Structure 1
Amino acid sequence: MGSKRLDWIDIAKGIAIILVIVGHTVPNPSPLRHAIFSFHMPVFFILAGYTFRPKPWRELLSGSVSRLLVPYVVLALAWHVPTFLMSGAPLTGGTLVAGLETIAFASGVDVPGLGVTAVGMAWFLAALFTSRLLFNALMLLFDARELGVVCQGVACTVIAFCGLSVSRLLGAYLPLDLDLSCYIVLLMWAGHTVRHRGLEPSVDKPLLFIGSGVVWLVFAALSGLELSSRRVDGFVLASIAALAGSYSVAWVSMAIEKMKGMPILGAFERGLVFCGRASLAIFAIHAVDWFIPWQTMPLLMTLPASWLFASIVRSACDIGLAYVIKKA
C-alpha cells in the first residue's frame, strides 16, 4: 500500500471528466446521455473510496475543507453571482438568505417544497465533502467493531437505501447533500473494498472486462441513474450498472497505462493522465462554461452530428484552459 500515485487512477478520472463534459453536451434525453450518466459520476466516488484511508478527524477536516468545501463555495459563487447580476434583480435581504440557503443545501436540483434553488454543478464537491466525513465515521466504526466485509456491505447498502428514501420517497433533501451522501458511501465502500481485497481489474483477464461491459449495458438499460437529482431508478440494477461501468473504465485505464512507452499512444496516455490530475480544475471550468451556448452555436449547428462537434470543441476548450492555468 505505497503512496506512489497510480497512473491508471488518473487515466480513469480523465476519462470520467471528459464524459462529464460530453454528457452535458449531448441531447437530453438520449440513449448516449443515459449510458454516460449510469456510471460517469460513480467512477469518481468509487475511486475516492479506493484511495481513501481513515484519518483522525482534525486531519480529515483540515484537508477536506481546504480541498473540497472552500472550492465548492467559490465555484457556487462563480456561477450564481454573475447569474444574479445579469438578471437585474435588486439585492435584498431575502435574496441574500435565498443564496445562503442554496449554498447550504448544495443540491444539484431545486429542493422540493422549500423553494431553494439548485446550486449547479458545484454539488459534486459538497457531496464528496460530506461523503468523506460520513465514510470516515463508518470505517472507524467498522474497525472498532471488527465487522467483516459482508456486514460492512450490508450496513452501507442499508444506509444508502435509507438516504435515498429520505429524498426520493419523503421528498426531504438534507443540507450539504447528506441524504445523497448516504448512497455515495456505498460506492466509496465498493472502491475501498476492491483495493483492500485485491479485486482490481487485470488487463490479462479480458473476459472479466467483457463480462463487466455486458453487465453494464444490460443493467444500465433496465435502470436509471442521475446522482445530482437523486434519481436511482431500480436501486439494485442501477448500483450494479454503476459498479460494472466503473470496473470497465478501470480496466480500460490499466490497458491505456501500458501504452505510455509507445510513440503516439504514449502521448494519448499522458494526455489522459493530465486530465485526471487536473480533473478538479477542468470540472470547475466546465461548471461555469454554461454561459456559452455550445449546442446552438451557428457554426456547429450546420454540421452533421452537431452534438459530437460541440462535445469535442467544449472538451478542448475546458481542458486547454486547465492546461494553460496549470502551466502558468
Structure 2
Amino acid sequence: MLKGIGIILVVIGHIYSNQTIFNWLYSFHMPLFFLAAGWVYKEKTVLADIKRRIQTIVIPYFSFGFLVLIYWQLMERRFRDSDMSFMDSLFGLFSGCYDNLEFNIHLWFLPCFFVTVILFNILVNLGGRRMAYLVSALMSLAFIVVPMHGLIWGIDRVFKYIGFYAVGVFIAGKSVKAVKKKVEAGIVAIVLLALSFSLSCYHLTMGIMWFVTALIGVAAVILISQLINENRILQYFGRISLIILCIHGPVYRIVVKIVSILLNLGTDAVRENFLLAMVVVVITMAICSTAYEVVVRLAPWMVGKKKVKEN
C-alpha cells in the first residue's frame, strides 16, 4: 500500500508542473519508499542478501537502463536540447551518477537503494540491529553536516536516506495494528498532511528539518494507508512500482506530447493544467501496467522475478 501510494506521488510529481506541489511531494515521497522497504526487512547472510538484491535491483536497473538509453539515443535525444554524449550516458548508467543519468534521471534510485539495503544488512550482520540503527543515524547526521555530491552508485544519497530505512526496520519490530478509531486517525492524517505542506511551502526542508518534514509526511501516508486498509489498485501499483519507476519517464513525455498535439497546446500548458496532468498520470500508469504484464510473461528476470515452471 505504501509503495503504491508512493509511486503514484512520484509520477504526479514528475508530470504536474506546479512548483508548490513539487516541493511538497519531494519533501517526503522518496523517504516513504525507503521506510516502506525497511518495514519488510528480513536479516540474511551478506552473500545471500547481495545475490537476492542483484536479482531484484541490479539486473532490472541495467535491463531497463540499456533499453531507455537506446531509445533516448535513437529517438528522444534528437528532440531535446541535450549535449550529453552516448558514452557519457553509458558512464552514468554504470556509475549510477545522478548528473550523467539525463536519459532517465529517475534511475538514480535503484543503485542508491541497492547500496542502502546491502549496507544496512552488513551492519546488522556485524553488530546487530542496534549498531545498524546507530550507524544509520550517524550517517544521516553526517549528511547534514558534510556536503556530499555526485558519488558513484548514489553513495552520497545513501547517507540521506538510510536513516529512513532504519526507521522502517524499527517500526517493523513493533506491533502496528490497523487503526480502529478511523475518525480520529483521519483528523490526525489531515493535520499531518497540512503541517507537512506548510513546512514545505516555507522551505523548512533543509538540515535537520529535512528529516522532520519528511517523517511528518510519511507518518500521514502511513495513517492513510491504514485507514484504506486494503485496495487492490494501490497494492498492485506497489507490486509493480519497479517497472513504473524505470519507464514512466519516457512514457509520460510521449503521452504529454500526444495530448499537446491533439489539443493544440504546448507541452508546458498540458503539464501546468491539473486536470490534463492527471489524465496523463492515469494513461502513464496504465501503459506501465500493460508493460509489466508483458515483461513478467516474456522476460520476468527484467523485473527481478524467476520464470514460473509450467507443469
TM range (shorter): 0.7 to 0.9
What is the match of residue 211 of structure 2?
A: 239
Q: Cα offset for 1:41?
A: 1.7
What CA distance in whole angstroms lies between the structure 2 residues aligned with 1:204 and 1:73? 45
Do 2:240 and 2:292's aligned partners in 1 also have CA atoms closer than 8 Å?
no
Do 1:25 and 1:307's aligned partners in 2 also have CA atoms closer than 8 Å?
no
What is the match of residue 91 of structure 1?
A: none
What is the match of residue 235 of structure 2?
A: 273
What CA distance in whole angstroms lies between the structure 1 residues aligned with 2:153 and 2:254? 28
Instruction: Mark the CA change 1:165 to 1:304 in structure 2 (over 3 Å): closer, same or farther.
Output: closer
Identical-residue share of aligned pairs (%): 23
Q: Cα offset for 1:81?
A: 2.1
Alignment match of 2:121 (pick from 136, 141, 147)? 136
What CA distance in whole angstroms lies between the structure 2 residues aligned with 1:95 and 1:34? 30
Alignment match of 2:15 (pick from 25, 30, 38)? 25
- Relative to its length, the structure with more helix (as a share) is 2
Q: Cα offset for 1:255?
A: 1.9
What CA distance in whole angstroms lies between the structure 1 residues aligned with 2:286 and 2:142? 38
Q: Cα offset for 1:180?
A: 0.5
> Which secondary structure does the structure 1 equivalent of 2:172 belong to?
helix
Scaled by the length of structure 1, what TM-score is found? 0.74
What CA distance in whole angstroms lies between the structure 2 residues aligned with 1:102 and 1:304? 28
What CA distance in whole angstroms lies between the structure 2 residues aligned with 1:18 and 1:101? 29
Instruction: Mark the CA change 1:303 to 1:134 in structure 2 (over 3 Å): closer, same or farther.
Output: closer
Q: Cα offset for 1:204?
A: 2.9
Do 2:27 and 2:205's aligned partners in 1 also have CA atoms closer than 8 Å?
no
What is the match of residue 156 of structure 1?
A: 136
What is the match of residue 306 of structure 2?
A: none
Q: Which amino acid aligns with 2:242?
A: L
What is the match of residue 307 of structure 2?
A: none
What CA distance in whole angstroms lies between the structure 2 residues aligned with 1:133 and 1:321? 28
Q: Cα offset for 1:190?
A: 0.6
1:251 pairs with 2:223: yes
What is the match of residue 195 of structure 2?
A: 218
Q: Cα offset for 1:220?
A: 4.7
Q: How many residues align?
A: 282
Q: Which runs of 5+ in 1 are unaligned?
A: 1-10, 89-93, 111-115, 225-230, 259-268
Q: Cα offset for 1:187?
A: 0.5
State the Cα deviation string for residues 177-210 of structure 1 (Å, max 9, x = none). 0111122110101111111123566343654554
Q: Which runs of 5+ in 2 are unaligned?
A: 79-83, 298-311
What is the match of residue 286 of structure 2?
A: 319
Q: Cα offset for 1:241?
A: 2.0
Q: Cα offset for 1:309?
A: 2.3
Q: Cα offset for 1:130?
A: 0.9
Any residues of structure 2 matched to 1:82-231 within 5 Å, and which? 82-86=71-75, 87=77, 97-108=87-98, 110=99, 116=100, 118=102, 120-143=105-128, 147=130, 153-163=133-143, 165-166=145-146, 169=147, 172-199=149-176, 202-204=179-181, 207=184, 210-211=187-188, 213-223=190-200
